[in-house]
Every structure is written in C-alpha cells, then in structure tokens.
Structure 1
C-alpha cells in the first residue's frame, strides 16, 4: 500500500513554531537557574565579539539594519531553535563532551520530543503502512567504559522520514512516526527496525533560509539517526549516527558529523543492517 507524504505543505514557519513551542515546554525553565554573574560574563563576551566584528569589518548602517531586519524575522518565524541548534549547538556539545571516555556525542537538534512510546529491547519503530525508504535493522549493545553490559539502558531514537520530515514538526505525519524508546535487555543488547532516513535540507522558506541564500551556503544535512542513551548512574549521551558515502558528511550545514559517528551498514535481503555499540561514562 502506498502512502502520500506532504512535503509541499511543510513550511519553515510551521516547523519553527513547533520547535519554539516544544522548547518552551521542555527546556526554557533551565535559564532561570543561570547565576547573574554567569549571564553577565557570557553576554558581555558575546557582545564584545559582535563589536569587534563591526569595527574590524567597518559595518555600515545599511548592513546593520539588514541584520536588525533579519533578527526580527528569525523571531517572527519561530526559528531561534533552528538557528541556534544548526550553527551554535555543536560548539556547546564539544565542551560538554570533552572529558568523556565513552562514546562520542553530537547535537540534539530542534526536533527531539520526549516520552516517545516504549517498545522493549526488540523494537519496530511506529511507521505508516507502506512507509517509504530502505528497511534498516539497527542493533548493538550498551556497556560501561570497562565493557560491562548495562542492564536496562534506555535508548530514545528519532529520525526523519524518506522525504526529510519529522513527525510533530510537519503536517500529515502520525504523532510518533519513526520515534521510540527502547530498553536494552539483561546483556545491554537492543534491536531496532526502522527505515533508513534520507539527507534533507533545513527549512529554507524562513529567516534561516534567507541567511543561507545571502551567504551562498547550502542548507543540507546528511542522513542520520538521532539517539539519546542513558542508564542510572551514567552520563547520558545525545548523538547522531551517519551513513557512509553521503555527500553531505563532509560539509554538513550543522557541522555535527564526527568520524566516530559514521556507521558501517551491510546490505541484506530486503534492506540493510548495522551494529553500533554505546559506551557510557559514570556520572
């Protein structure tokens, strides 16, 4: 049975509004816990960097007003989560992960949704009848840095469909499509059946798209699986896993690809399969 996808009805404004609403629900409270002296330090240094760029490059009033107009548009389009997650988050993640001995992480991105359905350790992600794409079996084990399996480790997984759209951020897609929570078995093993995602471009009909066009950049992200992996007493890893041969692995618009995150899938009858293990550090 074939299905109809609706890329023509997905817009940056709608996606941005959903990402902004999700952030306000899940994460905005964290800002209240930041001490004033930390806010002052970071704000002053960011502003000093802006001032330096203005002086170094002799920014004109026309350019300044173009910036003001663009910043207003980012807010109107609800694209601050997209802008920050695409162009800033990778640096924050590098700082967060610089002392880990276990698996590498990378950016979360703007399309995470908590509390996806629990699917056990041998999981099939929710998907539409006739879901487009190549069937993918993703499997592995979760251990600590000493190689001991982590019983009951929890993996949250989500990814775009074959048209590059995420459930809950584009219309016409079931709520939990290609999203799930998987609990590893007594040996830390898991198996997840899904569809291999495709490369996709970040929304380009809003303010972020205007920046990309004006700067002569490209808007593409390589195909990837998103995961959060956690176990009690261990540091949670947020990561993305990529597929070899993708032409955007070396020039990802979000600068989030790391060599350690490239998968090694194998073709099997009717699809592909890949094994990737996760190693968690103690808290």
Structure 2
C-alpha cells in the first residue's frame, strides 16, 4: 500500500457493503416463501453443523468462541464480506451450471449500480496520472448463436493499483475506475483503464480474525469486474484475471476459473491490451 492513510478498515468496508446490499436488494421477494424448501435447507445446514460438532468433539470453549465470533461479524458489518468470500462461489456454481455462453463468477461486495454511462470506445473514469499499467480491454458481445448484441451494457468496476475500490476506501473519487459502457451496433467495445493490483480483503475485523486463527491468507488476485447484459438475454456477472498473476491458484474467494484468465499483450502505444468476447444465453 503506497499510503497507509488510505487503507480501508473492515468496519468501514463492511458498513458500506451492508448499506449497498440493503439498498439494492430490498426488492427481493419475502412473501409467499415455500416453507417446505426453507425447512429442507435449514434442517440440512443445521444437521451438517451438528455432524461437525460430533465428529470433532467440539468443546464449550470452542462453541463460545464461535458464538462470540458470529456476534462480532454482525457488529462489524462483515456478513456481506464473509458470505461473498467463502460462500458465494458455490451458489454461483449452481446457478450457472446450465449456462452455454461465457462463464460467470461471484459479484463480490463492491458493486455499485449507476456508474457513469460511457460510449463503446471509452476511458474509465480515473484520476489524472492514475497509477498502474495502462490496459486496453476490447471485445464483442454476442448471443450463443453468434448474433452481435448491439447496445449491450457492460458495467465495469475494479480496484486501483493499490488494490482499493472507490466508495469503499477513503481518498478516491466517487466513480474512480467504474463505468457503464454501451457497446456499438455490432456489440463491440474498447475500454482504456489500468491493470488492477492484487489485494487483501480487510483483515482488521472478524473475517481477519478467522483468517489468522485458521492460518489462511487474505489475498485476491488482480481482476476486472463486469456485469454484461442485453434485452432478451440472461445477464452475466463475472471477473477476469491476469495470466501469471499472484494468487491465481489460491484465491481466498475461490472465484477463479480457467476460462476467465486474460493473456494481455504489449500494446503498440505502451501498456498492454487484451481481447475478450462475451457470449450471453437467451433469457429463459
């Protein structure tokens, strides 16, 4: 980190992620719940926990430590972080199992809707002399039958060269390295940005205490986030990684897939460039 004053705290990041989730997901249905489905899922989760307790002969000291930790996760506002890092990748695996087009992966806790609209050839909003290696990211959005999806929307967000996200770390402009790119009539796009850096998830809160106690690491590989959508097609949420990057093989969030690894090449004008096409499934 080039400036420790800019280091996001777990409490601040957790509060931001929780607020965003509650704001964005309030339209999720809560009525008409299938009680049989809830009964099945809740019973099997609890049974799995009971089995762990019995197999490992969990002590009262360990149980009380778990209870205190679960309470602290809520107090720290870190449930979005915990769930997105250690649980979401399996939910996404199940949800995307039937997808014929491009692979998806986790959204993570740092998505913010409403990023500035940009044309098909654009520069992501960034500071003057934004640190990092320049990157030209280009490609085309099509359907599974090869039809170009003109006007497809690519919402992009990423960490900067210090591994920080705008709106979740202090000192960054509101929409730094965030934008909503509208593809041209042939579904093509060309976005200039900078290569992001690997980063650690915040470790000064409850998730960090779990990581330390278990002897894990907290690192995510460098990646670009995207949500790609077009009318009549299933939206795609994904992340793209960089070949040879640190922690590709041991991502703390277990979100890397071979199909999502980019292979940038030197660009003629300096920096790197990469081509990556997105294929969307028709809406069901």
Q: Supply the distance in 2 between the matched residues of 1:16 and 1:10 (Cα, whole angstroms).
A: 10
Aligned to 1:18: 16
Q: Supply the distance in 1 between the matched residues of 2:170 and 2:59 (Cα, whole angstroms).
A: 41
Aligned to 1:193: 192
- The correspondence of residues 145-224 of structure 1 with structure 2, limited to 5 A, is 145-224=144-223
Aligned to 2:71: 72
Say which SS state the counterpart of residue 242 (structure 1) adopts: strand
Contact 1:138 1:274 in 2 (8 A): yes
Aligned to 2:259: 260
44-53 vs 196-205, greater mean Cα deviation: 44-53
Q: Supply the distance in 2 between the matched residues of 1:273 and 1:123 (Cα, whole angstroms).
A: 14
Contact 1:6 1:171 in 2 (8 A): no
TM-score normalized with structure 1 length: 0.96
Cα 1:245–1:122, aligned 2, differ >3 Å: closer, same or farther?
same
- The correspondence of residues 1-283 of structure 1 with structure 2, limited to 5 A, is 7-30=5-28, 32-33=30-31, 34-268=33-267, 269-283=269-283
CA drift of 1:47 comes to 0.9
Aligned residues: 280
Q: Which runs of 5+ in 1 are unaligned?
A: none
Q: Supply the distance in 2 between the matched residues of 1:142 and 1:25 (Cα, whole angstroms).
A: 29
6-15 vs 161-170, greater mean Cα deviation: 6-15
Contact 2:139 2:188 in 1 (8 A): yes
CA drift of 1:36 comes to 2.9
Q: Supply the distance in 1 between the matched residues of 2:71 and 2:103 (Cα, whole angstroms).
A: 36
Deviation digits for residues 36-80 of structure 1, max 9, x if unmatched? 332222111111111111111110000000101110110111000
Contact 2:198 2:246 in 1 (8 A): no
CA drift of 1:7 comes to 5.0
Q: Supply the distance in 1 between the matched residues of 2:280 and 2:245 (Cα, whole angstroms).
A: 27
Q: Which runs of 5+ in 2 are unaligned?
A: none
Cα 1:5–1:255, aligned 2, differ >3 Å: closer, same or farther?
same
Q: Supply the distance in 2 between the matched residues of 1:65 and 1:29 (Cα, whole angstroms).
A: 36
Q: CA RMSD in A?
A: 1.3
TM-score normalized with structure 2 length: 0.96
CA drift of 1:129 comes to 1.2
Say which SS state the counterpart of residue 65 (structure 1) adopts: helix
Deviation digits for residues 171-219 of structure 1, max 9, x if unmatched? 1111111000001101110011111000000000000000000000000
